[in-house]
Amino acid sequence: MAITATQNDGVSLIADKFSYDLVETDVEIITSGRRRIPAHSGILASGSPVLTNIIEKPRKIHGRSSKRVIKILGVPCDAVSVFVRFLYSPSLTEKEMEKYGIHLLALSHVYMVTQLKQRCTKGVGERVTAENVVDILQLARLCDAPDLCLKCMRFIHYKFKTVEQTEGWKFLQEHDPFLELDILQFIDEAESRKKRRRRHRREQNLYMQLSEAMECIEHICTEGCTLVGPSSNLDDKSTSQVKTGPCSAFSTCYGLQLLIRHFAVCKKRVDGKGCVRCKRMIQLLRLHSSICDQSESCRVPLCRQYKSRGEKDKKMVEDTKWKVLVRRVASARAMSSLSQTKKKKSEVLLKEEAEDFIRIRNKLR
């Protein structure tokens, strides 16, 4: 539906199921190119509070024309036509958004047309490129469009090297150093957040690995794990205990077994010369004793000894880093146990549902 100026002041517009074909227009909108767009004051006032104030102001009548004149300047004439048409019927084509999206965003902000502003914010945001991102960012700040502003900031952050070579960025450096500083601060904060997230993921990975190691130590010392690996077949001549299935934590359990065997026979540790692998084993045993709540019945070596020594050793008790490590490993262990429980419950439910389905299907046959 297009709006065109006519000599007899006629215009064909439809809004809210009312036809204005036969209603005489009482407003003329003048654009930068001296185009005159006839419109109805009632429609303009219902779509924009700013236009309402303009229409309600007293005016002086010059000449024979009794129509009120409203000037909308600074944007292309066709953009004004699309803007007025939107007030009559809120619809925009992709071609119009592509051609006049930026202009319509400015008009919707100035004349407080919320629905149009939301559409323009989304439409312009989908058309951001390295060449126009700086211009759109400046417009978004002027038009109070925080979503579009954030999208432009993120775009500049992800493609900063490309944006840095554009004319828009060079113009920004010369004429708006404060905005340039805001962008650089945003990029710096985003990179810092990314580093913190990576560090947090690495820490959580470490806590989960230590939690798994604690479970494996208990598993080795309590149940025994003489067969570790994906296969549970043994030679007929072997006298080792045959397990019904593979160990659930193959790599961790196997590495701990090797570490325990080394710890039992290491000569450096016995001679007091020190051994890195033995120190690692001692740290794991100490961590287990700090987490273990069944030290009296625990079968892990040195658990009770470390527990009693820790109670007497004030330095160990007051070691903040050690406390944090123990607390986070215990938390990771609890979360792992909870997720495993939920997984087992879901597997049981799925199995029961499958059995019920098979039973019902057999009955129907």
What was the pLDDT predicted at 14?
Answer: 41
> Do the domain assignments include residue 107?
yes
Say if residue 124 is exposed, middle or buried (CB neighbours under 10 Å; 0-12, 13-18, 19+).
buried
Q: What is the pLDDT of residues 33-64, one digit of tens each?
A: 889 999 998 899 999 999 999 988 887 665 55
Residue 29, classified by CB atoms within 10 Å of its CB into exposed (0-12), middle (13-18) or buried (19+), is: buried
* Domain boundary residue, one of 127, 144, 173: 127
Phi/psi at 86 (nearest 5 deg)?
Answer: -65, -35
Name the residue with tokens 């230590």: 210
- Is 119 contained in some domain? yes
The verdict on residue 191 lying in a domain is no
Burial class (CB within 10 angstroms; exposed 0-12, middle 13-18, buried 19+) of 234: middle
Residue 147 lies in a domain: no
CATH number at 78 reads 3.30.710.10
Has residue 148 been placed in a domain? no
Q: Is residue 164 part of a domain?
A: no
Cα–Cα–Cα angle for 7, 11, 14, nearest 5°?
180
Q: Among 171-180, 218-227, 239-248, which stretch is predicted with the lowest mean pLDDT?
A: 239-248
Domain-terminating residue out of 127, 148, 179: 127
pLDDT of 127: 94
Q: Which structural domain range is residue 272 located in?
A: 209-228+247-355
Q: What CATH number should be reported for the domain holding residue 294?
A: 1.20.1020.10
Answer with the one of 127, 146, 162 that is the final residue of a domain. 127
Looking at residue 315, its pLDDT comes to 57
In this predicted structure, the answer to whether residue 151 has a pLDDT above a threshold of 90 is yes
78 assigned to some structural domain: yes
Least confident residue range of 34-38, 141-145, 303-307: 303-307
Task: Say whether pLDDT at 8 is over 50.
Answer: no
Does 316 share its domain with 224? yes
Residues 217 and 98 in one domain: no
Average pLDDT over residues 80-104: 93
- Whether residues 215 and 338 share a domain: the answer is yes
**347 and 214, same structural domain?**
yes
Q: Is 199 within a domain?
A: no
What's the domain count of the chain? 2
Residue 18 has pLDDT above 50, yes or no: no
Whole-number Cα distances in Å, 245 to 210, 217, 234, 258: 24, 18, 12, 20
Q: How far is CA 343 from CA 78, 337, 340, in A?
A: 61, 10, 5
pLDDT at 111: 95
Q: What is the pLDDT of residue 109?
A: 95
pLDDT average, residue stretch 238-242: 45
Q: Which of 133-137, 236-240, 323-327 has the lowest mean pLDDT?
A: 236-240
Whether residue 315 sits in one domain with residue 219: yes
Same domain for 118 and 252, yes or no, is: no
My answer on whether 222 and 84 are in the same domain is no
Do 123 and 256 lie in a common domain?
Answer: no
- The pTM of this model reads 0.66
Q: Are residues 251 and 119 in the same domain?
A: no
